[in-house]
Structure 1
Amino acid sequence: MGTKIRQENPDACISCNICLTACPVAKASRLYRGPKLNGPALTRMRKLVDDDDAVVKYCSNCKNCDRVCPSGTSISAFNMKARYEYFKHHEHDPADLILSNNENMGKLMTSIPFVSATCANLGMKVAGKIGVLGKMGLGNEAPLPSYATMNFATRFKLYKQPSCTTKVLFFPGCYVNYNAPDVGMALVEILNRNNIEVIVDKRLSCCGSPILSTGYLDKVEKHAVSNVKVLAEYAKQGIDIVTTCTTCSLFLKQEYEELFNIKEVEDYKDHVWDTSEYLMMRNAKGMLVKSFGTIKKNVAYHTACHLKVQGFGRPSLDLLKFVPGVEVEDLQAGCCGLSGVYGYKKETAPIGRVIGTTLREKLTASEADVGLSECNICRLQMENGTGKKAIHPLMLLRDSYRKRADG
């Protein structure tokens, strides 16, 4: 494990332009001048003069620039810090407030199981059709995620786990908590079958990704400080931390340290795992339970940008090789374009749609029954107009375990 060492000095950038060739936004729109100029170059300039350029809003924070940078410059972090500085002198639109508050909105929308979420989802559909969302700065290029009728925290409390010697802490994040609790429950069931007990700590909050994307860097720092303290507690006890979201794991291991220089991240980051990565690690030690039943399904896999940048391969594909009957097509489609909240803002949604064209076209043309990706937002883009459903790889793994158990 471990992440690439990042350079916090803008002068580490050697102006080679490789980041420009890797940037999906720069390829899709001339409105954005590219990661290097918007990041390290203007960071140096801002030390001398005030820069008041709205172009800082066009970075999607996909981090492909960081992934290819030969000098390890934290290009995306410079971009995000520049966005924060811009909004110190400019007002946020209502869309920023809505999109940055998925956790608080989720708590409200799932507060009454089966009632509040149903009303909220219907309300969003009506608001979209009559143009209210557009007036608030939200685009219509992709459907907004719906809220679950019962959130993950409630479902987890109702679930009876076996007592196991090995325990892990699950970081669900706001999306699994309020939009996709099925993914979280699949993780619990899979780990239980592998003789692992799952812990959920209510002190953990959203990793901060949607908040960062909308320019509220100071609010992200509060989440970071709080989460780091909790995660370090578990790591000191030798308890590993698992996630189902590649963006969450990236934030916990890398973004907090890059953005805020929080040294305590070092205390736990080697204990943070993507769930598939964690299971493959156990497989290498001969500890993976392989009682998999046959699943006759063709799936089309999309590699999320925030998975690529972490550099630990594609463990979900390795895991699925153990499942009889599953045929996997690798879409190799680049960035999905939604990039967290990027594809939902009226200003950037058209760019996000252009970026995601390759993914949608490839999935539409594929003979696969269903799309597959670890990233919550990538799955939404995969479903956007393709007529196909997209699921987390863990859902297939859970179904395979169940099929074998049912005989």
Structure 2
Amino acid sequence: MIREEIKKALQNANLSGALTRFSEAYAVSRQKAYEGLNFEELREKIASIKSYVAEHLDELIQTFINSATENGAKVFYTKSPDEVRNYIIELAKKNNVKSIVKSKSMATEEIHLNKYLKEHGIEVNETDLGEWIIQLAGQRPSHMVLPAIHLTRYDVSDVFTKKVEPVEPDIARMVKFARKHLRRKFLAADMGITGANIAIAETGTLVIFTNEGNARLTMALPKIHVAVVGVEKLVAKMEDIFPIIKALPRSATAQLITSYISFVTKPYRHIDGSQKEFHIILFDNNRSVIAKDPIFKQSLQCIRCASCLNVCPVFRLIGGHVFGKVYTGGIGTILTAWTEGLKASKDIQGLCIQCGNCVRVCPGKIDIPELILEIRKRLAKEEGLNFKTKAIYSVVNNRKLFHSILRAASKLQKPFEKQGFIRHLPFFLSELTTERSLPAIADVPFRDRFKKIKQPKSNKKAVFFAGCLIDFAYPEIGEALVKLLNAANIEVLFPEEQTCCGAPARYSGVMDVAANNSKQNIEALLSVDADYIVSACPTCTVALKKQFVKDLKEQNYGEDLINSAQRLAEKVLDASELINKLIKEDKIKFDKLPETAFTYHDPCHLIRSLGIYKEPRESLESSGMKLIEMFESDTCCGMGGSYSLKFPEISGNILRRKLDNIIKTETKLVCTDCPGCVMQIRGGVDKEGLPIEVKHSLQVLAERLKK
């Protein structure tokens, strides 16, 4: 089912075009909007404010109820979506409400309120322009802030023409058309329903952001105002709102401030002078359960800006109708798992490529990829693994068997291998080579080649963790690292018992296999004494440095092994960082060779998980290379480990964009520091027949070493 939805979305040029144009413009505008502000400091404040709410949620709910009640509002707190709907329907019946206007509210989308109101014979009209368009089209929002972003002006003209009356696809005319028709709805409405962006516990105040002013009309014109507010919108006190006011418009739409910010504390008076009814429904639906979950409670730090959607390379290809349900994208996956149940997120959680781009822009400092990994773990634990997955990971779990299969595959691949690539695969495997060529497995793996390398004996030693790709597909990268370290008078050690870092199992939620891989590697890598433990694959570096300890704790391994994992982590360096350090210390020197232009692709784990950005560029430039930066150098290439095998069509589209950006630099060499990125980009270059070389930075540096 989801594969068909993906295919349909990828074939929709209007969709990807609209989302891509917005994403590109957003990146520039957002940067401008945050000029003069310390974003890291701002989001630390927001995370702290919202974290406090999660820790004191029950107390703040009661404080808000007391404050709002004293102000004259009627407050109803419930954990049940049914009770929210029933409260509004009963209130409408009691007051003979025939027509309702609504301003934008994700909480009411969550409980499918419009559907239930219509079933009870009540007319309901969305008044946010995007929401009204979506309502007329019979669709659901594709984005939490920009609900109709997937539609062109021609689509909107068609919707208006079919559902209301003919109007030309001219934006100014359509806005005027919408204003005219919606004003009639406002004037005829008996009830107005809004959401809220913030609810202040100490004062009982609701804070509502809009750009169109429709929320103010929704509150002011009808005789009854109902606000449906998720309890995660609570903050403790008035001063807590200011960091959110600064961040929300800048992160959502890259505006300095929203056009309208409304503070609602007491019931309005109606235009006829009578007292309006003001009802606040504080809505839970598992939020209080999330607050008590030690891992997922950070998701309550979300301020619903949707910046994570705006920078997601997957979202901008397939949109929220595929990547999400009511809530969309990465954060939507997490919210879906809690508001609709874990199984409701089963298909969409797999769409996250784990690039981490969302983490750097989230004003609530939510580690969205990590929480999606936790969903995968819980799904794997709750539902178990299918036969195919069990078979794969039983192999990965057995180092000798795994390595024997890889060695055998190097022989069996011969009918399909040509010039180091596998360009076509038969039958059901054919789609794996549609978008890129695959690397052939090396005839002689690195572990065998290493034995023949003559090294200087030295007191300084480094253990090299090769990882699967360098060991069995790209042994030349491993040889380049040995050459560079030897040039700095560092002897390299290679414990043969090392195995897969566990990333494939870890990113699939199969934690017993990941932890077993961690255990095997800790024992192997600490079996020899060395100054450094070095990896030339950022995914492996992250595993060694950050994940092993976590894996073992989660799987309840003993204290001794966990302590060993911590000792190992302290010695781990990514090769890009270590080589840069040795160059700066003048321990690695280069020949004066002709200057060669290159462009650089930042591996996701290197730049975002390890914070390494300048080092590889500095190293390459110090060797006499000339850097030509590409557009979106730090955007994912589409590899994502096994992601490119699960979703080759998405992976291939992301790769195509990366290749376009490389071509625009007019360089003939792409450098990167991840063997997975080498595999993805080199495979795409080969498939397209481009006259471009793709190399791991270590290879280029080794070639330019002083003889």
Indicate whether the TM-score tops 0.5.
Answer: yes
Q: State the match for 2:307 in structure 1.
A: 18
Shift of 1:18: 3.4
Q: State the match for 1:108 in structure 2.
A: 405
Q: 2:580 aligns with which of 276, 280, 286?
A: 280
Report the residue type matching 2:311 in the other structure. Answer: A
CA distance in 1, matches of 2:524, 2:414: 33
CA distance in 1, matches of 2:629, 2:606: 15
Q: Which has the larger radius of gyration?
A: 2
Aligned: 1:397 with 2:701: yes
Q: 1:342 aligns with which of 643, 653, 669?
A: 643
Map Cα deviations across residues 62-103 of structure 1 (whole Å, 9 max, x no partner).
222334445544422221232243345375485896699677
Q: Which stretch shows the higher mean deviation, 238-247 or 254-263?
A: 254-263
Q: Is the 8 A contact 1:168 1:241 kept in 2?
A: yes
The DSSP-based 3-state class of the residue aligned with 1:110 is helix
Q: State the match for 2:469 in structure 1.
A: 175
Aligned: 1:271 with 2:607: no
Q: Percent identity?
A: 23
Say if 1:318 and 1:350 are closer, same or farther in 2 by CA, change over 3 A: same
Q: Is the 8 A contact 1:35 1:75 kept in 2?
A: yes
Report the residue type matching 1:313 in the other structure. Answer: Y
CA distance in 2, matches of 1:169, 1:158: 17
The DSSP-based 3-state class of the residue aligned with 2:582 is helix
Report the residue type matching 2:653 in the other structure. Answer: V
Q: Which runs of 5+ in 2 are unaligned?
A: 1-43, 52-293, 555-561
CA distance in 2, matches of 1:281, 1:80: 33
Q: 2:535 aligns with which of 234, 243, 266?
A: 243
Q: State the match for 2:332 in structure 1.
A: 37
Report the residue type matching 1:390 in the other structure. Answer: V
Pairs aligned (count): 385
Map Cα deviations across residues 327-382 of structure 1 (whole Å, 9 max, x no partner).
2222243110121121122xx11111222232111223332122111111212232
The DSSP-based 3-state class of the residue aligned with 2:599 is strand
CA distance in 1, matches of 2:392, 2:359: 28
Say if 1:196 and 1:60 are closer, same or farther in 2 by CA, change over 3 A: same
Map Cα deviations across residues 262-302 of structure 1 (whole Å, 9 max, x no partner).
75443332321111211222344x35232434154222211
CA distance in 1, matches of 2:369, 2:436: 24
Q: Is the 8 A contact 2:600 2:627 kept in 1?
A: yes
Aligned: 1:372 with 2:671: yes
CA distance in 1, matches of 2:394, 2:704: 36
Aligned: 1:305 with 2:604: yes
Say if 1:214 and 1:322 are closer, same or farther in 2 by CA, change over 3 A: same
Shift of 1:233: 6.1
Shift of 1:248: 0.8
The DSSP-based 3-state class of the residue aligned with 1:76 is helix
Shift of 1:185: 0.6
Say if 1:332 and 1:323 are closer, same or farther in 2 by CA, change over 3 A: same
CA distance in 2, matches of 1:386, 1:365: 16
CA distance in 2, matches of 1:141, 1:275: 30
Say if 1:106 and 1:141 are closer, same or farther in 2 by CA, change over 3 A: farther
Map Cα deviations across residues 43-73 of structure 1 (whole Å, 9 max, x no partner).
6558x77656322221212222334445544
- TM-score under structure 2 length normalisation: 0.50
Q: Is the 8 A contact 2:461 2:531 kept in 1?
A: yes
Q: 2:317 aligns with which of 8, 28, 44?
A: 28
Aligned: 1:130 with 2:426: yes
Q: Is the 8 A contact 2:599 2:665 kept in 1?
A: yes
Q: Is the 8 A contact 2:603 2:673 kept in 1?
A: yes
Say if 1:267 and 1:349 are closer, same or farther in 2 by CA, change over 3 A: same
Report the residue type matching 1:20 in the other structure. Answer: L
- TM-score under structure 1 length normalisation: 0.83
Q: State the match for 2:650 in structure 1.
A: 351
Q: Is the 8 A contact 1:382 1:389 kept in 2?
A: no
The DSSP-based 3-state class of the residue aligned with 1:268 is helix
Q: Is the 8 A contact 1:295 1:400 kept in 2?
A: no
CA distance in 2, matches of 1:42, 1:192: 52
Say if 1:147 and 1:49 are closer, same or farther in 2 by CA, change over 3 A: closer
Q: Which has the higher contact order (CA 8 A, sep 6+)?
A: 1
CA-based RMSD: 3.2
Q: State the match for 1:148 in structure 2.
A: 442
Aligned: 1:76 with 2:375: no
Say if 1:60 and 1:139 are closer, same or farther in 2 by CA, change over 3 A: farther
Report the residue type matching 1:85 in the other structure. Answer: R
Q: Which stretch shows the higher mean deviation, 181-190 or 12-21?
A: 12-21
Q: Is the 8 A contact 1:121 1:147 kept in 2?
A: no
Report the residue type matching 1:23 in the other structure. Answer: C
Say if 1:386 and 1:76 are closer, same or farther in 2 by CA, change over 3 A: farther
CA distance in 2, matches of 1:299, 1:100: 42
Q: Quick check: which one's strand share is greater?
A: 2
1:50-61 equivalence runs, <5 A? 51=344, 53-61=346-354
Say if 1:95 and 1:24 are closer, same or farther in 2 by CA, change over 3 A: farther
Shift of 1:400: 0.7
Say if 1:45 and 1:107 are closer, same or farther in 2 by CA, change over 3 A: farther
Say if 1:261 and 1:22 are closer, same or farther in 2 by CA, change over 3 A: farther
Q: Is the 8 A contact 2:377 2:511 kept in 1?
A: yes
Q: Is the 8 A contact 1:173 1:207 kept in 2?
A: yes
Shift of 1:210: 2.3
Q: State the match for 2:101 in structure 1.
A: none
CA distance in 1, matches of 2:605, 2:373: 16
